[in-house]
Amino acid sequence: MENNLEVIPIFFAIDDGYMPFLAVALESLIHNASKNYYYSIKVLYTNIDEENKRKINKYQSANVNIEFVDLNYYIEKVKDKLYTRDYYTKTTYFRLFIPNLYPQYDKAIYLDSDIVVLGDISELYNVDIGNNLVAAAPDDVIQTTKVFQEYAEKVVGVADYRNYFNAGILLMNLDEIRKFNFQDKFLYLLETIKFTVAQDQDYLNRLCKGKVKIIDKGWDRMPIANDDLPIEDIKIIHYNLADKPWRYDTIKYQEYFWEYAKKTEYYDYICRLKDEYTEEERFRDLQQYKDLKALAQKESDCVGDDRSNKKKNQQIEKSKERLEILDKIRKLEESGVFDVDVEEDPPTIPLEPDDIDYLRTSKMSQIKSKMATKVAEKLVNDLMKDNKLIIKEVKGIENLKKVQSGAIVTCNHFNPYDSFTVEKVFRLAGQDKNKKLYKVIREGNYTNFPGIYGFFFRNCDTLPLSSNRETMKEFIKAVDVILKRGDFILIYPEQSMWWNYRKPKPLKNGAFNFAARSNVPVIPIFITMEDSNFIGDDGFPIQEYTVNIGEPIYPDSNLSEKKNSIMMRDKNYEIWKNIYEDFYGINLEYDIIDENQEFVNQ
């Protein structure tokens, strides 16, 4: 006990280059920590400037002690065995030696320094860890990228990639780790196995397998995460890999880093670092991430796969209804008909002008919209947790972030959930802070769709088309208003939904007419798919989505409205086509029986 307060040991491991970011981490940690504890902070290092030590020691107070611990002597005997690559240093391994270095502690927290702590760190310390070796959150990088999921299961050997944890935020059960003889086992593994992808993190996951308490993901939130988590549920933001606010302007949660950076002595220095970060260095970051994925793929390719508990190995009879839909798609493609839906939709009941409040001007419309949006968000999160909606990767999100005006968003239509996916990406881009995403839907889906999805169709910022001429006039007026005030409208320009159809279909003019008329850009999104390891209730593999966001297509001031519409439509199709061919590695060709039939965008 110190000053009659319970001691919470907290460890960092850094070199001199990361001292400015340690200051930011400490600023946020101390600001939000309960004053009912004494925080004994140990900074493990091998090379730190004395002036930097002086600046960090200023964070000491009545209930905060900071000690710098030189590990040169300790690391000397194993340093030749510690493999590193890219920007990693041997300090990343220091956390593995904490249990033996500090036998006086039964439990401790380890933290990376590229973090901001928004919650009370004592709450993490008080997590009931049981007899597990560590408590940690799932690694968001693993959760969002298939090649890393394969690597985690096949190479590292965790039973389920969702339980592969990030080692940057750890609650360590030091007593159990010592009983487990962890350090000797780690040094033995160093001699027998070389994990090259995540290095010490891979060793931790391998050694701790079956003895990990998975904690709430809010304790280790990374910008790369592809689901929305309310900020009040985020306790620690971890700017992992290249997602550093001191390098880029577009990092999710960057505002929290700068909030605390401004309070440190390093603020001006950090700003200079950012200003001086070169395009060559940014390219290097991108290349390192690509190389890391390639390395994980190579490692996975060298290992057999005997995972018998995956759903992909289960024999589930394929749905007769789905097989009929696939046959219908084949026949439609052969006949060159692309704008017909292949699934039975609710019968269309004509939508009268008085039946719809397109702009949600009434109080009741606004209340229903808020309620529907909240329920839909929860549904989407549940679908993702249950692997019924899998967003593996988002590419080109900067193309969505940078559009400040109103815009038409286009997307291929192949699943009732694809609008959920676009909405999720819209939020990931941070556009939901100042904009709404409206969705154009069929008339029958609005007027006659049953159940909870009917409730969503009627209230989740939807814009139903109508067979009634007067209602369509109101629709067009609403579109003009929405685009003028700076909101986005999602339109499926293929004018049909074909279940899990991977090719882009010829585009209709409607979406592009609206963009040209309102002089706003089109943001082309094309979602590519891969079979996941999970089998749906229909017997088919659930698809993993890669959301590809193309460069915005702007109207040309030298062209007429009609020519702009055609130009944007053709560019949109070309972008989709290129994405399709690059992703699948094949040329876009339609299985058309009548080879003399011409296919042009109508």
pLDDT digits (tens, 9 = 90+) for 114-150: 999 999 999 999 999 988 999 999 999 888 888 888 8
Residue pLDDT, tens place only, 435-446: 999 999 888 877
Distance of alpha carbon 590 from alpha carbon 337, whole angstroms:
11
**How many Cβ atoms are within 10 Å of 602's Cβ, its own excluded?**
11
150 neighbors 58 (Cβ within 8 angstroms): no
Q: What is the DSSP letter of 119?
A: S
Q: How confident is the model at residue 455 (pLDDT cuts 50, 70, 90)?
A: confident
Q: Residue 285 pLDDT more than 60?
A: yes
| Total Cβ atoms within 10 A of residue 103 | 10
Query: Given this model, what pLDDT does residue 3 score?
Result: 62
- DSSP 8-state symbol, 100: H
Contact 20, 244 (CB under 8 A): no
What's the pLDDT at 500? Answer: 92
CB 139 within 8 A of CB 188: no
CA distance 409 to 553: 10
Does position 36 have pLDDT exceeding 90, yes or no?
yes
Q: What is the mean pLDDT of residues 383-391?
A: 77
Looking at residue 470, what is its pLDDT?
92
Cα 102 to chain centroid, rounded: 37
Q: pLDDT class for 51, splitting at 50, 70, 90? A: very high
Beta bridge partners of 224: none
* Whole-Å CA distances, 26 to 20, 59, 60, 226, 491: 10, 7, 10, 27, 46
Of 163-177, 193-207, 464-478, the one with minimum mean pLDDT is 193-207
Return the C-alpha torsion angle 238, 243, 247, 252, nearest 10.
-80
Phi, psi of 522 (to 5 degrees): -105, 130
Range with the poorest average pLDDT among 114-128, 185-199, 251-265, 291-305 = 185-199
Kindly list the structural domains of the chain, giving each domain's residue range(s) and its CATH number in brackets, ordered by start.
Answer: 6-301 (3.90.550.10), 363-522+531-584 (3.40.1130.10)
Q: Is the pLDDT of residue 381 over 80?
A: no
Average of per-residue pLDDT across 275-304? 84
pLDDT per residue as tens digits for the range 73-105: 766 655 554 444 333 445 556 777 898 889 999
pLDDT tens for each residue of 543-600: 888 899 999 999 999 999 999 999 999 999 999 999 999 999 999 999 887 554 554 4
C-alpha gyration radius of the chain: 27
Which of 295-304, 474-483, 497-506 has the lowest average pLDDT?
295-304
The mean per-residue pLDDT over the stretch 477-485 comes to 95
3-state secondary structure (DSSP) of residue 54: helix
What's the pLDDT score for residue 91?
A: 55
pLDDT confidence of 313, banded at 50, 70, 90?
very low
Q: What is the pLDDT of residues 346-362, one digit of tens each?
A: 677 888 888 888 888 88
- pLDDT reading at 521 higher than 90: yes
For position 600, what pLDDT does the model report? 44
Q: What mean pLDDT value characterizes the chain?
A: 87
572's tokens: 């949109």
| Residue 515: DSSP 8-state | H
- What are phi and psi for residue 114, nearest 5 degrees? -90, 55
